[in-house]
Amino acid sequence: MNATVSAMLNTPSASHDSTTMRLPTPSELRAQLPMDAALKVQIDDQRRAVQRILSGQDDRLLVVVGPCSVHDPKAALDYADRLAALSEEVSDRLLPVMRVYIEKPRTTVGWKGLAYDPHLNGRGDMAQGLALSRELMQNVACRGLPVATELLQPMLATYLQDVLSWVAIGARTTESQLHRELASDLVAAVGFKNATSGDVQVAIDAIEAAAHSHQRFALDEQGRPVMQQTAGNPHTHVVLRGGHGEPNYQAHHVRKAVNTLREAGQNPRLMVDCSHANARKDHRRQSEVMLDVLAQRQAGEANLVALMLESHLFEGKQSLKPGALRYGVSVTDACVGWDTTERLLKTAAERLR
Conformational region of residue 66, where left means phi above 0, alpha means psi within -120 to 50, and beta covers everything else? left
Output the pLDDT for position 12: 44
Which residue in 199, 231, 196 sits closest to 213, CA to CA? 231
pLDDT score, position 134:
98
Handedness of CA 40, 41, 43, 44 (dihedral sign): positive
pLDDT one-digit tens code per residue, 148-196: 999 999 999 999 999 999 999 999 999 999 999 999 999 999 999 999 9
Angle at CA of residue 135, ends 100 and 51, nearest 5°: 50
Coil, strand or helix: which one is 211? helix
**Residue 233's pLDDT is what?**
98
Alpha-carbon torsion, ordered 126, 131, 136, 137, to 10 deg: 90
Check residue 323 and give its pLDDT. 78
d(CA 165, CA 145) in angstroms, rounded, equals 9
The pLDDT tens digits of the residues spanning 65-100 come to 999 999 999 999 999 999 999 999 999 999 999 999
pLDDT of 108 reads 83
Length of the chain: 353
Q: Which helix (H) or strand (E) holds 225?
A: strand 225-229
Q: What is the pLDDT of residue 16?
A: 62
How far apart are alpha carbons 255 and 3 in whole angstroms? 62
Crossing angle for the helix pair 126-142 and 73-90, nearest 10 degrees? Answer: 20
Whether pTM > 0.85 for this model: the answer is yes
Q: Which residues of 288-323 are buried (b: 16+ CB within 10 A; e: fewer)?
A: ebbebbbebbeeebebbbbbbbbbbbbbebeebeee
- Residues in the chain predicted with pLDDT less than 50, given as ranges, are 1-14
- The CATH topology of domain 24-53+63-352 is TIM Barrel (3.20.20)
Report CA Rg, the chain: 21
Helix (H, G, I), strand (E, B) or coil at 291: helix
Which sequence spans correspond to the domains of the chain?
A: 24-53+63-352
Give yes or no for a contact between 93 and 58, defined as CB atoms under 8 angstroms apart.
no
Q: Whose CA is closest to 186, among 149, 137, 139?
A: 149
Q: How far apart are CA 21 and CA 29, in angstroms?
A: 15
φ and ψ of 64, to 5 deg: -90, 115
